[in-house]
Amino acid sequence: MQAGKPILYSYFRSSCSWRVRIALALKSIDYETIPINLIKDGGQQFSEEFQALNPMKQVPALKIDGITIGQSLAIIEYLEETRPTPRLLPRDPKKRAHVRMISDLIAGGIQPLQNLSVLKQVGQENQLTWAQKAITSGFNALEQILQSTAGRYCVGDEVSMADLCLVPQVANAERLSRHPWSPISEALLSIWLSPEPPPPNSDKPDLLHKNQKCV
Amino acid sequence: MQAGKPILYSYFRSSCSWRVRIALALKSIDYETIPINLIKDGGQQFSEEFQALNPMKQVPALKIDGITIGQSLAIIEYLEETRPTPRLLPRDPKKRAHVRMISDLIAGGIQPLQNLSVLKQVGQENQLTWAQKAITSGFNALEQILQSTAGRYCVGDEVSMADLCLVPQVANAERLSRHPWSPISEALLSIWLSPEPPPPNSDKPDLLHKNQKCV
């Protein structure tokens, strides 16, 4: 059922696309990127061609193994089930629950409230206050949870889907909110940015190049 | 590690709590409910006691097997991994990807934009228009996806996590938006509401009692 190289529809500044890019990199999956510019031409995600592919008119979407999957966490879970090495969910069900709780907190509780389409709807005058409220409230909760789950990474000492959500969300937060990071977020981020060896069986991707070009 | 009967912190009108209540019912898991009234006393979710339990100040939260899990989909995935019968995720990884895509679309792409705290923030004057926009746009996408994934239920002919997300979201939508349902949503809902036999190995819970009392 392998139908050629996977194709990722992605935008360089989309934090949800970024989660998937990290997963693909960590799992050393070779793929092609088709950039969907969310700003240019009024938003290329609104084109008929792209809507047919992802009715949510959002990136990322991944064409893989003959299907197209939208929603970043659904994509990462599929990659995990079909390309399990290195794993992005721990073996222990309780730790997996923590990973998914943190991932869902970011993907459902922070990101949707400060994404491009919502900020447009809020209007230019109010959007910074709006974004800051979502980010501050979300990160306050997140950091309280990390106090009890984190080791070297968000949950214990293994990189997981939760870290793939945290890093792009922190970049968003820095851009939109200048949230004062607590020591735990600082520590977790410094690991991603450090020149230390990557975790076993994985390549550390180029995670926080803020000035990255459009993919 | 079983530490007594699971405790669900829940609010009767919370669509996210409702997803978990369906999962617990389908899996015949005996549990206790502690109601967290999101309106009374300025919102019981803001109490210090509850915040210590779930820093996101949201329901549901489930105390089970010695841990507390927040975020409805993380809870359902944990129940699925530890109490797998009847299953709420199909065996086939591609179908699982469809289930998670639909679940995430609702849990991350519709619900967070029309929940109580966001509508408060939008203000009474604008909240109906705001909610309707989120619901219409989300359901338009959802129904396009269901065209290709649904059989008797959201994905094929088995009840899955996607249905557990769809039913409460439809109830929200009816309350907030009066979205004109397409034939496919009507058909899916009519199955949940019908007097026909429940799916194998499961009890059909009392899903759409709109006038249910606060649990």
B84 touches chain A (CB under 8 A): no
Task: Please give, rounded to a whole number of angstroms, the shortest distance from the CA of A131 to a CA of chain B.
Answer: 12
Beta strand pairing call for A67-70 and B7-10: unpaired
Which strands, in side-by-side order, build the sheet including A67-70? Answer: A32-35, A7-10, A61-64, A67-70
Q: Which residue of A has its CA nearest to B66?
A: A94
Nearest CA-CA partner of A78 in B8, B151, B99, B82: B99
What are the tokens at A169? Answer: 């969300």
Average pLDDT over residues B13-40: 91
pLDDT digits (tens, 9 = 90+) for A20-75: 998 998 899 999 999 998 888 888 888 999 999 999 999 999 999 999 999 999 99
Query: Given this model, what pLDDT does residue A41 score?
Result: 84
Measured between beta carbons, which residues in chain A are less than 8 angstroms from residue B145?
55, 70
Whether the CB-CB separation of A9 and A34 falls below 8 Å is answered with yes
- Site of tokens 């990390």: A146
pLDDT digits (tens, 9 = 90+) for B39-49: 888 888 889 99
Average pLDDT over residues A103-121: 86
Query: Given this model, what pLDDT does residue A182 score?
Result: 59
pLDDT digits (tens, 9 = 90+) for B171-198: 777 777 665 565 666 666 665 555 443 3
Average pLDDT across chain B, whole number? 82
Measured between beta carbons, which residues in chain A are less than 8 angstroms from residue B141?
55-57
Q: Which residue has the higher pLDDT, A131 or A2?
A: A131
Percent of chain A with pLDDT strictly greater than 70: 80
pLDDT digits (tens, 9 = 90+) for A139-166: 889 989 999 999 888 999 899 999 999 9
Q: Which residue of B has its CA nearest to A146?
A: B55
Say yes or no for a CB contact (<8 Å) between B77 and A100.
Answer: yes
Query: Given this model, what pLDDT does residue B3 score?
Result: 56
A56 touches chain B (CB under 8 A): yes
Distance (Å, rounded) from C-alpha A16 to C-alpha A107?
8
Say yes or no for a CB contact (<8 Å) between B104 and A141.
Answer: no
Task: Please give, rounded to a whole number of angstroms, the shortest distance from the CA of B68 to a CA of chain A.
Answer: 9
Task: Please give, rounded to a whole number of angstroms, the shortest distance from the CA of B87 to a CA of chain A.
Answer: 16
A104 touches chain B (CB under 8 A): yes
Greatest mean pLDDT among A2-11, A41-50, A52-61, A78-87 lies in A78-87
Query: Given this model, what pLDDT does residue B38 score?
Result: 87
Measured between beta carbons, which residues in chain A are less than 8 angstroms from residue B55?
140-142, 144-145
Say yes or no for a CB contact (<8 Å) between A113 and B109.
Answer: no
What are the tokens at A113? Answer: 């409230």
Q: What is the pTM of this model?
A: 0.85
B146 touches chain A (CB under 8 A): no
Whether the CB-CB separation of B188 and B149 falls below 8 Å is answered with no
Query: Given this model, what pLDDT does residue A49 score?
Result: 92
Nearest CA-CA partner of A176 in A126, A103, A101: A126
Say yes or no for a CB contact (<8 Å) between B78 and A97.
Answer: yes
Query: Given this model, what pLDDT does residue B172 score?
Result: 78
For B104, which of A66, A71, A144 is closest by C-beta distance? A71
Query: Given this model, what pLDDT does residue B73 score?
Result: 98
Say if residue B84's pLDDT is above 50. yes
Percent of chain B with pLDDT strictly greater than 90: 46
Measured between beta carbons, which residues in chain B are less than 8 angstroms from residue A66?
94
Beta strand pairing call for A7-10 and A61-64: antiparallel
A84 touches chain B (CB under 8 A): no
Helix, strand, coil % over all residues of chain A, rounded to 5: 50, 10, 40
Task: Please give, rounded to a whole number of angstroms, the shortest distance from the CA of B55 to a CA of chain A.
Answer: 5
Helix (H) or strand (E) holding B69: strand B67-70
B94 touches chain A (CB under 8 A): yes
B118 touches chain A (CB under 8 A): yes
Query: Given this model, what pLDDT does residue A88 score?
Result: 96
Measured between beta carbons, which residues in chain A are less than 8 angstroms from residue B73?
100, 104, 108
Say if residue B201's pLDDT is above 50. no
Whether the CB-CB separation of A102 and A142 falls below 8 Å is answered with yes
Query: Given this model, what pLDDT does residue B183 score?
Result: 61
B184 touches chain A (CB under 8 A): no
What are the structural domains of chain B? 7-82 (3.40.30.10), 93-193 (1.20.1050.10)
Give the ranges where A15-90 is alpha helix by DSSP (H). 15-26, 48-53, 72-82
Question: What is the per-residue DSSP string for B30-57?
Answer: --EEEE--SSGGG-GGGSHHHHHH-TT-
Say yes or no for a CB contact (<8 Å) between A107 and B104.
Answer: yes
Query: Given this model, what pLDDT does residue A97 score?
Result: 98
Say yes or no for a CB contact (<8 Å) between A82 and B75.
Answer: no
Query: Given this model, what pLDDT does residue A118 score?
Result: 82
Whether the CB-CB separation of B105 and A54 falls below 8 Å is answered with no
Say yes or no for a CB contact (<8 Å) between A105 and B56.
Answer: yes
Task: Please give, rounded to a whole number of angstroms, the shortest distance from the CA of A205 to a CA of chain B.
Answer: 25
| Exposed e or buried b per residue across B185-214, where buried means at least 16 C-beta atoms within 10 angstroms of its C-beta | beebbeebeeeeeebeebebbebeeeeeee
Cβ pairs bridging A and B (under 8 Å): 121
Say yes or no for a CB contact (<8 Å) between B113 and A111.
Answer: no
